[in-house]
Structures are given as C-alpha cells and as structure tokens.
Amino acid sequence: MKKIKLAIIGCGAVAEVFHIPTLQRMPEFEIVALVDANEERAKELKNKYSLNCETFSDYKKVLSKDIDAVFILTPPKFHSQIAIECAEAGKHIFCEKPMETSLEKAKDMVEASEKAGVKLMVGLNFRFIPQFKKVHELIEKGFLGHLIGASSTFFTNASVWPSKSKFQYSREGGGALFEMGCHHMDLIRWYLGDIRNVFGNIKTLNKDITIDDTANVYMEFKNGAAANLAVVWGDLSINEIRVYGDGGFIYANGSKNEVLFTPKGVVAQAPIRIKADKKISAYHEEFRHFFECIMEDRTPVVNGTEGYKTLESTLAAYESYEKGIFVEVTKK
C-alpha cells in the first residue's frame, strides 16, 4: 500500500496527545518531518515517539521536500499562512479547527487549495465520533422525518488541556465558543443544514480569564428548523446532542456509547437504544478518511467550504452578542 508521507507543523499538545500517536500506528501514513517554531519541542516529540524523521523550526523547509501532505496543528492564527504556502507547494492539507481567525483568511485557504488542486480537510473531528456519526446516518435515512430542531450541551474543562501556548485564552485564538463550541456548531450544521441567522449570548463568568467561558447560541436554519447550543468551560464534562423532527427524537452522548431513538407516537416507553459502530478512535477514523480522500480523489466530509461555514456561524454569534441583534449568516 502506498503511504502518505507527511509533515506535522505545530508540535504542541494535540500533536503529542492525539495526532502523532494515532498517525504513527496507521500503516497509511509515514511521518517524515516534525516542525515547530521551537525546534527543541519537535525534537522532544521525535524522541518520545522514536520517530525516524527530520525536525525543523520553519515550515518553509518542508515545502520543497518529498512530502504528500501536511498536518497543521498550530494555533489558529497561523493556519492560513501555512496552509496557503503548503497548497502552493502541492501538499494536501489537514488543518486543525478552528479553521482560522477571520473569514477572509479562511476563504483564502479554500481558494488556494482549489487553485492548487490539493485536498483541504478541517479537523472538526466530532463528525467522526461514532455516536454523532450515527445521528447523521439516522437523519439521512429519514428516521426523524421533517427536521424541526436540535439542542446541544457541551461542557468541558479547558484548564486541564496541556496547551503549550495557551492560545485558547487569547482573543486571537480562543474563547469557549470559538475554540470548543465550533465542534457542536459544526455538528448542528451537519444535521440541520445551512444556518440563516444566529443570536449569541456570550459571557465570561470565570474571573481568572478575559475571554468567554459560557456561550448560549440560538440558531435558525434555512429549512425552518431552530436549534440552541450551550457551551461552558468549567468543571463539568457534558457532550450531548438532541435532534428532533416530525418523525421522532434522537439523543446522543459523545462521551458514552449512547444513541437513543424515540419514534413519533411512542408515549411512556423506553427509547430504542441504537449501537454506534465502535471503531478505534474518532481521530483514527478522521485520518483514515483524509487518506482515502487523497488516494481516491474524493472530497473530505469537512472540506474547506464546510470549515468556512462553521467559522462563519461561530463568528456571527460573537457579532450578534456585540450588537445585541440577530445576525444573518446565509442570505440565499
């Protein structure tokens, strides 16, 4: 089997905890370079995982190398610059979420990848969590009938995440909604379609940080459905979503293997428990999908346009809160 030769750009927490150990075990990939602005960090991870690869402090060094793809795992404000140069050098791109910090930069990434004819996949990996993937499958099969709405709750403890740069606590790259809420915003969009407008209520309740840790977002969709999203950085860990239509109701829990379906008309009866496919991990599934898209010339399920739309909806929620009004996301 042909392996995809790749460079990892950004050797921080997510590279160490998820990407390198997952990619290293996959026969589909060969890590040939680790890049970090702090090259000592790249060397540290090379040694930790006993990788036979080069290390660099400047991503430009990999542009001329025999490398098929790059994984961009830096804080978001560096994503577009690196992605555009890598696309121009003919490398396929896997870029972590949030796609960028502005829509203009995200659009430039999409255009550069299209012009160069390379794949651009955004790391909104909740679409690969089996329970959430199952919800999408059931919706596509018509279990819910005409979609009416969704409600999601996503609470995490950001303070335990071992980020090297702590970028998530800065205006440029963070905030609970921007950094974590984008995962659920993306899921809701995947289930219900394009968002017409949003209303955001975005607060900082923890006195030790200056960016948002609590966000409630109300969304109206082009198809008439409505949804709300609650995101909190605190001590609790909750990762749940409910989607309903005129044919039934689905509850999925991203932390437990739990997908419950209640068909229309069922009263006082336990919901039907549906098994989600147990795979190795959502990251493994996500990276496998990226590999298949490259090898089979397919469009990634979270391509640049999808990443752009999720960013657009997320930023619109912040704008809504600043202005105190609904903000239109999609005019068409």
Ligand X SMILES: NC(=O)c1ccc[n+]([C@@H]2O[C@H](COP(=O)([O-])OP(=O)(O)OC[C@H]3O[C@@H](n4cnc5c(N)ncnc54)[C@H](O)[C@@H]3O)[C@@H](O)[C@H]2O)c1
Binding site for ligand X (CB under 6 A): 9-15, 35-38, 41, 59, 73-76, 78, 96-97, 123, 125, 163-165, 167, 179
The one-letter amino acid code at 84 reads I
Nearer to ligand X, 138 or 182 (CB): 182
Q: Least Å distance between CB 177 and ligand X?
A: 13
Taking only Cα atoms into account, the Rg of the chain, rounded to an integer number of angstroms, comes to: 20
Give CA–CA dist 196/313, Å, rounded.
Answer: 9
- Closest CB to ligand X: residue number: 12
Q: Least Å distance between CB 240 and ligand X?
A: 17
Give CA–CA dist 129/126, Å, rounded.
Answer: 5
In this structure, the chain runs to a length of: 332
Nearer to ligand X, 37 or 274 (CB): 37
Q: Least Å distance between CB 280 and ligand X?
A: 15
Pull the structure tokens for residue 130.
């089996």
> Which residues are CB-neighbours of 136 under 8 A, at least 6 positions away?
127, 190, 191
Q: Least Å distance between CB 278 and ligand X?
A: 19
Q: Least Å distance between CB 55 and ligand X?
A: 11
Answer for the pair 109, 76: CB distance below 8 angstroms, yes or no. Answer: no
Grouping H, G, I as helix, E, B as strand and the rest as coil, residue 140 is helix
Q: Least Å distance between CB 123 and ligand X?
A: 5
Give CA–CA dist 215/229, Å, rounded.
Answer: 8
Q: Least Å distance between CB 114 and ligand X?
A: 22
Angle, helices 182-192 vs 130-140, to 10°: value is 20
How many C-beta atoms lie closer than 10 Å to residue 271's C-beta?
A: 15
What is the pairing mode between strands 69-72 and 4-9?
parallel
